[in-house]
Structure 1
Amino acid sequence: MPSTPTLTKRNILRTVICVAIAAGFFALFNFRSAASTAALKDDIVKAEATRQRQKILFPVYAEFAKTLKTRASTLPLPEPTTLTNDRIGGVQPDISALARSCNLTPQSVVCDPLSLAMETGRMAVDITVTGNLEDFREFYVELGALSYLRRIEHMRVTEAPGETRFQLKTWVAVQSG
């Protein structure tokens, strides 16, 4: 009678161990790459959404940039002047009145006399006003027309329910000595 292979406990154990090792390698390499592939797919979806948004908004941006260039080129630049020491006190009322004339509410106009210690011939002025964006645009243009204004360092716009707050850090020219 021919001998038939019998499955012994040892052979079954070896087979189970080999299958477990193969499954372990498969799981280790496949699951890790599957997770990174899923993360890449999410990134691709986000990038595509951003690209679509930019594609939709680009014509609006191009029109805005064209309008901005047109308006900027038509605004007259004032003859630069400097503030004398006796006129520094008038900066706060001037800017507050300018804000009110543009239908904005001046929250604070603070001159920083310590900035004069840097001996740059400039003084920092922090401005905070509230109102709507259209009025702020007019204020911003009128502020740029002040002959002693040298630079607007930064602008922050924050919105709260029923109020839009505009914060500016500006520099005005002051006579040295």
Structure 2
Amino acid sequence: MHSPGIIILAAGLGTRFQQAGGQGNKLLAPYPDAFGVAQPLLKFTIDQAKRSGLPLILVTRPGYHAIHQLAQQAGIRIICLESAGSGESIAAAVRETPHWRGWLIQPGDMAWVTAEDHLRVARALQQGASQVRLTWQQQPGHPVGFAASWYATLSMLQGDTGARTLLNTAQLTLLEGHAGVTRDADLPASAPRHF
């Protein structure tokens, strides 16, 4: 495999979403597509990642059967674990994909990230960047990319700190994106009316 791949994080508990009044698993919350048909939020994330043509892996929990089904329908490889946080999820996915030439970390609830966003980050890694992050009006966004040289460090992440602690301004390439690279579904009303 001569390209970076995308890790879709779908093992979270959605605590902030539920505290804000959301019901059930936020990754399954229905959002209308361009035709007005309700689809699970995670489907939009998966569809955009697939459109990039990059390899994909999705990390989720054993009991999240509806998420398993979505991933299987899309033909995406799944890792199941009772994750203690995003760091543990990232580490598990990286250990399963040592042949990738880097990793793009994509939260499952950030469905407004486009295929082109993924490709921009992947191209920057392929051109020699060590770390890459999309931003919007100086706000940090996703996906965040790490070169293959970060394998050992990423594979040992733990807890819920994710890969944020690894970002180093001396090594980080920032790419200006659009509002969607910073938008997530932690709040039930935070979504546009359609995709």
TM-score, structure 2 length as denominator? Answer: 0.21
Structure ranking higher in helix proportion: 1
Question: Which structure exhibits the higher relative contact order, with contacts defined as CA atoms closer than 8 Å and separated by 6 or more residues?
Answer: 2
Larger radius of gyration: 1
